[in-house]
């Protein structure tokens, strides 16, 4: 019993320490661990006393790792990776998907493309706890406690994240039959100045359209218009109502095109596309539930996007 107590003592406080580093402070760590901020502070203080070093520099507003704290954190991560490796080995041996999987995606892409695939995945694995969170804000996977995110566009170069390309989504120029009957169809980028454009707008700037010029080369087109929206589905609805031209992902307009509510313009020309990725916190090993979810998304999401 004495030996086992000693082992427990050696690991006491490490989970709280790692959580405080990854959450970016004692208060956020307390929320994620369902503890009080005081309990987090006392746990780390006891760990510092046992180790004989100061792990954090504390101010009234924030806590920053010391050099000793950074080195200790890196050692803790390596130990945690080994523990995760053991879990993966056991999990793989059982061939059973279980535990909690938290996934983040943008609102519309998540609702229409990602959610149907992961709902089917959860139905196949009754012991999986699936949590889907949709937001157009790019979440901090580590601080917000997500296992996986589906993101559009370039990944960047964060050493804290890993990613896998899942596919790409093409964007199409569309208008309603009633709009074309009234205003005609644009034949070139220059013609767009004579048309009503439905722009995606965030804050004080709009998203440029990427359209083919006379040679077929994709060109950034700055959109000047009186009709600005910060929701893609509202833009699609406005296009159906004949208010103007829209440039949106094909998966969002697909049913409207099939039903004749919208007409795809310039379908014989090159179209812009945006790649999408699965992204997860960097770790040497991934749990089986995460690895299989990524495999399923890589297989099914491109089909969902193209329909």
pLDDT tens digits along 96-136: 899 999 999 999 999 999 999 999 999 999 999 999 999 98
Q: Is the dihedral of CA 47, 51, 53, 55 positive or negative?
A: negative
Burial (CB < 10 A; 0-12, 13-18, 19+), residue 268, is: exposed
Q: What is the pLDDT, as a whole number, of residue 138?
A: 86
263-265 and 198-202: which strand pairing?
A: unpaired
Instruction: Give the 3-state secondary structure of residue 10.
Output: helix
pLDDT at 142 over 50: yes
Q: What is the pLDDT, as a whole number, of residue 1?
A: 42
Q: What angle do CA 260, 266, 272 make, to 5 degrees?
A: 105
Q: What is the pLDDT, as a whole number, of residue 2?
A: 43
Q: Which residue, 242, 250, 244, 243, is CA-closest to 267?
A: 250
**Phi and psi torsions of 199, nearest 5°:** -100, 145
Query: Does residue 16 or residue 283 have the better pLDDT?
Result: 16
Q: What is the pLDDT, as a whole number, of residue 4?
A: 47
Decide if 153 contacts 124 (C-beta within 8 A).
Answer: no
Within its chain, how far is the Cα of 191 from the centroid? 36
> What distance in Å separates the CA atoms of residue 149 and residue 143, rounded to the nearest whole number?
13
Q: What is the pLDDT, as a whole number, of residue 35?
A: 84
> What distance in Å separates the CA atoms of residue 78 and residue 55, rounded to the nearest whole number?
17
Most confident of 58-67, 154-163, 247-256: 247-256
Give the lowest-confidence range in 8-17, 111-120, 166-175, 277-286.
8-17
pTM of the model: 0.69
Query: Does residue 34 or residue 189 have the better pLDDT?
Result: 189
Tokens representing 88 are 């993966």
Tokens 């989504």, located at residue: 169
Tokens 């945690």, located at residue: 80
Integer angstrom CA distances of residue 144 from 134, 138, 140, 242, 288: 13, 11, 6, 41, 21
Alpha helices in 95-175 (DSSP H): 107-109, 115-124
Which residues does residue 197 pair with via DSSP β-bridges, in sequence order? 245
Instruction: Give the 3-state secondary structure of residue 85.
Output: helix
Q: Give the percent of the chain with pLDDT over 70.
A: 88
Q: Give the percent of the chain with pLDDT over 90.
A: 54
pLDDT tens digits for range 200-253: 987 777 789 999 987 889 999 998 889 999 999 999 999 999 999 999 999 999
pLDDT grade, residue 67 (50/70/90)? confident
Integer angstrom CA distances of residue 166 from 103, 152, 302: 15, 10, 7
Q: Which residue, 252, 259, 255, is CA-closest to 169?
A: 252
Q: What is the pLDDT, as a whole number, of residue 6?
A: 54
Give the lowest-confidence range in 17-31, 71-85, 244-258.
71-85
How much helix, strand and coil, in percent to the nearest 5, is found in the chain? Answer: 45, 25, 30
pLDDT at 87 over 70: no
Q: What is the pLDDT, as a whole number, of residue 194?
A: 94
Give the lowest-confidence range in 57-61, 186-190, 215-219.
57-61
pLDDT grade, residue 7 (50/70/90)? low
pLDDT grade, residue 3 (50/70/90)? very low
> What distance in Å separates the CA atoms of residue 25 and residue 40, rounded to the nearest whole number?
10
Q: What is the pLDDT, as a whole number, of residue 10?
A: 63
What residues contact residue 170 under an 8 Å CB cut-off, 6+ apart? 249, 250, 271, 272, 273
Q: What is the pLDDT, as a whole number, of residue 244?
A: 97
Tokens representing 219 are 């060109």
> What distance in Å separates the CA atoms of residue 250 and residue 253, rounded to the nearest whole number?
5
Q: What's the start-to-end Cα distance of the chain, in Å?
A: 61
């Amino acid at each position: 019993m004495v030996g086992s107590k000693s082992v427990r003592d050696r690991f006491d406080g490490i989970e709280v320490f790692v959580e405080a580093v990854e959450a970016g402070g004692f208060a956020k760590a307390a929320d994620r661990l369902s503890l009080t901020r005081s309990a987090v502070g006392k746990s780390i203080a006891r760990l510092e006393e046992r180790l004989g070093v100061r792990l954090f520099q504390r101010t009234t507003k924030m806590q920053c790792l010391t050099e000793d704290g950074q080195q200790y954190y890196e050692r803790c991560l390596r130990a945690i990776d080994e523990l995760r490796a053991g879990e993966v080995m056991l999990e793989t041996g059982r061939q059973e998907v279980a535990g909690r999987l938290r996934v983040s995606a943008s609102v519309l892409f998540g609702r229409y493309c990602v959610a149907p695939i992961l709902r089917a995945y959860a139905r196949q694995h009754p012991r999986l706890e699936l949590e889907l969170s949709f937001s157009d804000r790019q979440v901090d996977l580590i601080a917000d406690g997500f296992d996986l995110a589906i993101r559009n566009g370039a990944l960047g170069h964060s050493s804290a994240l890993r990613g896998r390309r899942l596919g790409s989504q093409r964007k199409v120029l569309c208008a309603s039959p009633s709009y074309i009957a009234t205003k005609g169809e644009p034949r070139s980028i220059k013609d767009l100045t004579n048309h009503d454009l439905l722009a995606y707008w965030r804050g004080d700037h709009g998203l440029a359209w990427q359209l083919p010029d006379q040679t077929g080369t994709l060109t950034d087109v700055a959109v000047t218009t009186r009709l600005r929206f910060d929701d893609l589905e509202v833009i699609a609805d406005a296009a159906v109502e004949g208010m103007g031209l829209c440039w949106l992902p094909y998966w969002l307009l697909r049913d409207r095109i099939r039903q004749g509510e919208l007409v795809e313009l310039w379908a014989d020309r090159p179209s812009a596309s945006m790649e999408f990725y699965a992204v997860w916190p960097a770790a040497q090993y991934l749990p089986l539930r995460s690895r299989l979810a990524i495999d399923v998304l890589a297989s099914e999401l491109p089909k969902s996007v193209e329909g």
